[in-house]
Amino acid sequence: MQSPDTSEEMLQIAAAAAVSKGGEDLVALNVSEPLPLVDIFLIVTGNSERNVAAIADEIEDQLLESGHKRVRREGRQESRWVLLDFGDLIVHVFHGEERVYYGLERLWKDCPVVPIDVAEPTVDAS
């Protein structure tokens, strides 16, 4: 397990990457108590299979560029639920329907929420 600072740094990188590709409803949960090998789950919603894939790809690219090693990736082919395992951070990028169906927030409701410090993208009105 890496330091909590590293996990939170990874979270911020992943969250910023997700938002940059249109990721919505970001929720980060500290799952270190029930899952000692993982610190944080990041849950993100995309609005289509293409969007889910783009979000997952950008998160992966940004974390790899920052020097973090991916342990595993699942679901990229279908792009309905892509799981990116970076050790202490596991990212779940869901299509909206799958997010509701699997309800990870309900399953992990006893875990504390980790703040995400990502500015919402601004829309230029000009």
The sheet carrying 72-74 orders its strands as: 24-30, 40-46, 89-95, 81-85, 72-74
Residue 76's pLDDT band (cuts 50, 70, 90): confident
| Total domain count, the chain | 1
Using CA atoms, how far apart are residues 30 and 105, in angstroms rounded to an integer?
Answer: 11
pLDDT tens digits, one per residue of 22-55: 999 999 999 999 988 899 999 999 999 999 999 9
Which DSSP string do the residues of 33-90 spell out, in sequence order?
TT-TT--EEEEEEESSHHHHHHHHHHHHHHHHHTTPPP-EEE-TTT-SEEEEE-SSEE
List, in sequence order, every residue forming a beta bridge with 42; answer none if it has no partner: 28, 91
* Phi, psi for 107 (deg, rounded to 5): -65, -35
In a domain, 112, yes or no: no
Is the pLDDT assigned to residue 98 strictly greater than 50? yes
Comparison of pLDDT for 6 and 119, the residue scoring more? 6
Q: Is the pLDDT of residue 123 over 50?
A: no
Q: How large is the C-alpha radius of gyration of the chain?
A: 14
Whether residue 52 lies inside any domain: the answer is yes
CATH number of the domain bearing residue 64: 3.30.460.10
Does the global pTM surpass 0.75? yes
113 within a domain of the structure (yes/no): no
